[in-house]
Amino acid sequence: MSTLASRGEAAVSAISEAESLRFQDFFYRKTGIQFGPAKRYFVDRRLIERMSATGADSLNAYLVQLRYEDAGGQELQHLINAMTVNETYFYREEYQFRCLVNSILPELTAMRAPEDRRPLRLWSLPCSTGEEPYSLAIQLLENWPAVDRYDVQIVASDIDTSVIARARAGLYEDRSVQYLPASVKARYFTRTTDGRWRIVDDLRASVDFGPINLSDPSDMRCHKGAFDVIFCRNLLIYFDEVSSRRAAEAIFDALRPGGFVCLGHSESMSRISSLFTVRKFPDAIVYQRPES
Amino acid sequence: MALLKTSPNGDMPSAPVAAPRPAALLLATLHAGATAAERREAALELAAAPDAARDLSAALGQETELSVREAIVTTLVVISTEEAASGLADFLMSDDPHLRNLAIEALREIGPVAGSQIERLLASSYPDVRIFAVNVLDAFFYRRAQDRERLHTLLQRDPDVNVGLAAVEALSQAGGPEDIPALRAFAARFPEHPFVGFAVDMVCLRVMPGDAR
For residue B108, tell me if it sits in a domain.
yes
Interface residue B8 vs chain A (CB under 8 A): no
Contact residues, chain A, for B210 at CB < 8 Å? 18
Indicate yes or no: CB of A64 within 8 angstroms of CB of B174. yes
Active site residue A158: yes
pLDDT digits (tens, 9 = 90+) for A68-113: 888 777 788 778 767 764 468 999 999 999 999 999 999 999 998 8
| CB pair distance less than 8 Å for B44 and A153 | no
Say yes or no: B71 contacts chain A, CB-CB below 8 A: yes
Half-sphere exposure of A99 (CA within 13 A, CB side): 20
Other residues' Cβ atoms within 10 Å of the Cβ of residue A277: 14
Query: Looking at the predicted structure, is the pLDDT value of residue A64 above 80?
Result: yes
Distance from CA of A20 to the nearest CA of B (A): 14
Boundary-marking domain end, from B107, B129, B151: B129
Q: Are residues B117 and B209 in the same domain?
A: no
On the question of pLDDT at A1 being above 50, the answer is: no
| Domain closes at, from B94, B129, B164 | B129
Residue A71 to residue B108, Cβ atoms within 8 A: yes
Rounded to an integer, what distance in angstroms lies between the CA atom of residue B94 and that of residue B91? 5
Instruction: Tell me if residue A46 is catalytic.
Output: yes
In this structure, are B159 and B203 located in the same domain? yes
Q: Do B122 and B164 fall into the same domain?
A: no
The answer as to whether B54 is a domain residue is: yes
Segment A141-148 mean pLDDT = 94
pLDDT range class, residue A141, cuts 50, 70, 90: very high
Domain that holds residue B153: 138-213
Q: Could B15 and A222 be called an inter-chain contact, meaning their C-beta atoms sit closer than 8 Å?
A: yes
Whether residue A215 lies within 8 A of chain B, CB to CB, comes out as no
* Best-predicted range by mean pLDDT (A23-27, A213-217, A284-288): A284-288
Confidence of residue B17 (pLDDT cuts 50, 70, 90): low
Q: Say if B55 falls within a structural domain.
A: yes
Instruction: CATH number of the domain at B74, please.
Output: 1.25.10.10
Q: How much is the mean pLDDT over chain A? A: 87
In a domain, B156, yes or no: yes
Q: Are residues B69 and B87 in the same domain?
A: yes
Q: Do B177 and B79 share a domain, yes or no?
A: no
CA distance A32 to A244: 25
Note whether residue B14 is domain-resident. Answer: no
Q: pLDDT tens for residues A214-253? A: 878 878 888 999 999 999 998 887 677 888 899 999 999 9
B54-100 pLDDT tens trace: 999 999 999 999 999 999 999 999 999 999 999 999 999 999 999 99
Q: Does residue A6 register a pLDDT over 70?
A: no
**Is B51 found in the same domain as B123?**
yes
Average pLDDT over residues A135-150: 95
Residues 165-194 of B with CB under 8 A from A: 173-174
Peptide bond into A290 cis (omega under 30): no
B48 and B124 assigned to the same domain: yes
Residue B212, chain A, CB below 8 Å: the answer is no
Q: Does a structural domain hold residue B12?
A: no
Residues B149, B156 contacting (CB under 8 angstroms): no
pLDDT for the residue B94: 94
- For residue B25, the model assigns a pLDDT of 93
Lowest mean pLDDT among A57-71, B21-35, B39-53, B71-85: A57-71
B148 in the same domain as B172: yes
Residue B5 has pLDDT above 80, yes or no: no
Task: State yes or no: pLDDT of B15 exceeds 90.
Answer: no
pLDDT of residue A27: 80
Mean pLDDT of A7-12: 42
- Closest residue of B to A147, CA-based? B2
DSSP secondary structure, A119-146, as one string: PEEEEESS-TTTHHHHHHHHHHHHH-GG
Q: Which percentage of chain A shows pLDDT scores above 70?
A: 90
**Which is catalytic among the residues A50, A70, A121, A158?**
A158
**Interface check A227 vs B, CB under 8 A:** no
Question: Which residue, B77, B96, B129, sits at the end of a domain?
Answer: B129
Smallest Cα distance from B5 to chain A, Å: 5
pLDDT of A39 reads 79
Q: Are residues B72 and B146 in the same domain?
A: no
Does pLDDT of A153 surpass 60?
Answer: yes
Chain B residue with minimal CA distance to A222?
A: B15
The verdict on residue B2 lying in a domain is no
ipTM: 0.82
B148 within a domain of the structure (yes/no): yes
Which of A71, A141, A205 is facing B5, going by the closest CB pair?
A: A205
Tell whether B38 and B124 lie within a shared domain: yes
pLDDT at A3: 41
Residue from A66, A204, A245, A252 to probe the interface with B (highest B Cβ count within 10 Å): A245
Contact B130, B151 (CB under 8 A): no
Q: Rounded mean pLDDT of chain B?
A: 90
Q: Which of A81-90, A125-134, A171-180 has the lowest mean pLDDT?
A: A81-90
Average pLDDT over residues B39-58: 95
Which has the higher per-residue pLDDT, B156 or A162?
A: B156
Given this model, what pLDDT does residue B96 score? 95
Q: Average of pLDDT values for B165-193?
A: 93
**Interface check B35 vs A, CB under 8 A:** no
User: A148 contacts in B (CB within 8 Å)?
Assistant: 2
Strands, DSSP E only, in chain A? 3-4, 12-13, 120-124, 152-158, 171-172, 189-191, 197-199, 207-211, 227-231, 255-262, 277-280, 285-288
For residues B166 and B118, state if they share a domain.
Answer: no
- For residue B7, the 8-state DSSP code is P
- Burial of A284 by CB count in 10 Å (0-12 exposed, 13-18 middle, 19+ buried)? buried
| Chain A residue with minimum CA distance to B69 | A275
How many domains does chain B fold into? 2
Confidence of residue A2 (pLDDT cuts 50, 70, 90): very low
Residue A201 has what pLDDT? 95
Same domain, B62 and B110: yes
Question: What is the reported pLDDT for B49?
Answer: 94
More confident position, A167 or B12: A167
Amino acid (1-letter code) at residue A274: S
Would you place residue B7 in the very low, low, confident or very high pLDDT band (cuts 50, 70, 90)? low
